[in-house]
Amino acid sequence: MSDRKKLNILISNDDGIFALGVRTLADTLAKLGHQITVVCPDRERSATGHGLTIHHPLRAEQVNSIFHPQVHAWSCSGTPADCVKFALSAVMDERPDFVLSGINHGPNLGTDVLYSGTVSAAMEGTLEKIPSIAFSLANYATNEFQVAANFAVKLVDKLKINHFPRTPLLSVNIPAVTESEIAGVVITRQGLRRYIENFEQRYDPHGKTYYWLIGEIIEDIPQPEDPNLPPHILTDVQAIRDRYITITPLQYNLTDTVTAKYLYGQDFLKS
């Protein structure tokens, strides 16, 4: 690895253990000499959010042959959050330096992060005070993940020497273009995407009704500037459109401080 420090890295995802994105990420890092453990769902578990399996047993088994020989890989019957919990408690002997999630096949922009299993896997690492990053390739139509994996290598190298004020949770979206076509790398804030949602009624072979959720993006809603951030900082939705790699710092504390201050000032608790 020359002068690159060997890191102990846990990787998970929500696209499943056989997804090309996680294999590209894990193999790229393993070839550089990093110690890589992969624990992923045994099937696609997209849009599962931060769900946990508590009413059924988890089943897990080692996976051989599909990853680089130095990758230690497991499949797990649970959700992405289950996978990270299982890895940290039952698979890894040492605490990892990073938890990485992805590379997701498709973007996680704006309010997508509330539903994303990719982001939730990374968030589970942050809850355990481990620096964590969710990587997403912002296009469903392409299977070219190497540009995103190469950026992941660079980002991890930069982050390992930084001392953050608190454990970071980063959502990174990479445009599906060649490296020469990437406009740059920007720190962004979370945007907002609006969907038309429709439950399409269908019938199974026995004539029984079932419903399939159909969602279509209709607009990216501009967001007002955040007084806590530098002026005119772009949202992730805006920046990815201009072919920037976006790095959006997230947090799991959902407290609405603006409303909390308002309610406190209104003395709602007084009789």
pLDDT score of 192: 80
Lowest mean pLDDT among 2-6, 248-252, 263-267: 2-6
End-to-end CA distance of the chain: 67
Give the residue extent of every domain in the chain. Answer: 8-189+230-259, 192-221
Q: Which two tokens stand for residue 264?
A: 């406190």
Nearest to 170 by CA among 190, 198, 140, 142: 190
Q: Classify domain 8-189+230-259 by CATH architecture.
A: 3-Layer(aba) Sandwich (3.40)
Indicate the pLDDT class of residue 127, thresholds 50, 70 and 90. Answer: very high
- Smallest Cα–Cα separation from 20: which of 67, 61, 62? 67
- The model's confidence at residue 99, banded by pLDDT at 50, 70 and 90, is very high
Inform me whether the pLDDT recorded for 124 exceeds 60: yes
Higher per-residue pLDDT: 261 or 60: 60
Full-model pTM? 0.90
At 47 the pLDDT is 79
Mean pLDDT of 234-256: 93
Q: Which residues contact 242 (CB under 8 A, 6 or more apart)?
A: 183
The reported pLDDT for the residue numbered 264 is 79
pLDDT greater than 80 at residue 269: no
pLDDT at 1 over 70: no
Beta strands in the chain (DSSP E): 8-12, 35-41, 60-63, 71-76, 98-105, 132-137, 169-174, 184-187, 192-203, 209-221, 244-250
18-33 confidence digits (pLDDT tens): 999 999 999 999 999 9
Signed CA dihedral, 50, 51, 54, 59: sign only? negative
Average predicted confidence (pLDDT) for the chain: 90
d(CA 229, CA 188): 10
Structure confidence at residue 220 (pLDDT): 65
| Lowest model confidence (mean pLDDT) among 26-30, 132-136, 199-203, 266-270 | 266-270
| Dihedral angle sign, alpha carbons of residues 184, 132, 35, 174 | negative
